[in-house]
Amino acid sequence: MSIDPSLLAKLPTIKLRARAVVEGVLSGLHKSPYQGQSVEFAEHKEYAPGDELRHVDWKAFGKLDRYYVKRFEHETELSVLMAIDASGSMNYGSTPLTKLSTAATFAAALAHLLIRQQDAVGLLIFRNGAFSYVPPRSGAGHLRVIVETLDALEGEGRCDLESMAKALAEKSRRRSAIFVFSDLFDGADGGLDALLQLRLRKHDLTLFHILDPDELTLPFDDPTRFLSMEGDGLALEAHPRELRASYLAEMCAFLDETEQRATARGSDYLRVSTDDALDRALLRFLARRERARKDGRPA
């Protein structure tokens, strides 16, 4: 059962929203309508709340439709940096959750799961070419710092992916997992390429492309004045019905090119709409990473 975003939006804090998403993920991991076990998985046990999510065997789930945890696997602590685009365009929201609220909720839920398995999680918040930084640590007290920081977020100014990439390179001296949450609407050339250069430093890079349904469909009919949300004063008056076809063609090309460029560099890419059920989106992400790891591809 997925969590309706409209219900999630009624929760007053990121802490409560993230907890609801995490509970949805854990519920999804241990629910299954089928019984049975295979000798092939003799070194596994059935998933139970409290088990580490990194040890879930997704191939076992694919064969048996049940969640199993490998008994024998041990991995070292992972260092994680989460980068949040807090530019003005992230304030947009035609659904109960804005893009920024969606990004913050998803990041907080993922931080909860990572810290639960003893990984160190840090946070970088970007706006107007500057950033604030919470160094990677683990523990319940540190999770509280991350969640409170995310809860206080307000978007303003412009998106600058190149500055974001430079800051991430500066703060990630050793190999890390880097999760970027952004709409990737950067007017400058080279911003996305700068982010993807992090793969050359052997970082495990994932782009969470956060978008609103309005941006994906342009549902407006009447003459509309579109205002820039990034503080540059730009405005455009247009008849959406007349430009919808060309807009959608440009948007599809942008989405396809962004995903292709990311995956060609060995980065993971996950598109998340503000009307998506975030627990389902997070489960989908975890399953994709496990499949990539099993297949020997970059996570």
Q: What pLDDT was estimated at residue 86?
A: 96
Q: Which residue has the tokens 């980065």?
A: 267
In angstroms, rounded to a whole number, what is the distance separating the alpha carbons of residues 105 and 287? 19
> What mean pLDDT comes out for the span 265-281?
95
Contact (Cβ atoms closer than 8 angstroms) between residue 205 and residue 199: yes
In angstroms, rounded to a whole number, what is the distance separating the alpha carbons of residues 85 and 185? 10
Q: What pLDDT was estimated at residue 68?
A: 65
pLDDT for 117-149, tens place per residue?
Answer: 888 999 999 988 789 999 999 999 999 999 999
pTM of the model: 0.83
H/E run at residue 94: none
Contact (Cβ atoms closer than 8 angstroms) between residue 184 and residue 269: no
Lowest-pLDDT range of 5-14, 27-36, 56-65, 234-243: 27-36
Most confident of 37-51, 54-68, 71-85, 231-245: 231-245
pLDDT above 70 for 64: no
Which two three-digit tokens encode residue 85? 């685009």
Q: What pLDDT was estimated at residue 74?
A: 39
Q: Which residue has the tokens 């389902």?
A: 280
Which two three-digit tokens encode residue 247? 């807009």
In angstroms, rounded to a whole number, what is the distance separating the alpha carbons of residues 134 and 155? 18
Which CATH code, of 3.40.50.410, 3.40.50.2300, 3.40.1530.20, 2.60.40.10, is assigned to 79-294?
3.40.50.410
**Residues of 50-83 as b/e, b for ≥16 C-beta within 10 angstroms?**
ebbbbbbbbebbeebebbbbbeeeeeeebbbbbb
Q: What pLDDT was estimated at residue 41?
A: 35
Nearest to 209 by CA among 134, 281, 129, 128: 281
Amino acid letter at 60? A
In angstroms, rounded to a whole number, what is the distance separating the alpha carbons of residues 170 and 133? 11
pLDDT for 3-37, tens place per residue?
Answer: 889 999 999 999 999 999 999 888 876 553 333 33
CB count within 10 Å of CB 164 equals 25
Q: What pLDDT was estimated at residue 39?
A: 28
In angstroms, rounded to a whole number, what is the distance separating the alpha carbons of residues 254 and 109? 28
Using a pLDDT cut of 90, give the percent of the chain over it.
58
Nearest to 122 by CA among 102, 140, 148, 142: 142
Q: Please, which pLDDT band fits residue 281 given cuts at 50, 70 and 90?
A: very high
Nearest to 151 by CA among 285, 17, 299, 293: 17
Q: What pLDDT was estimated at residue 1?
A: 58
Task: Give domain limits for the chain.
Answer: 5-70, 79-294
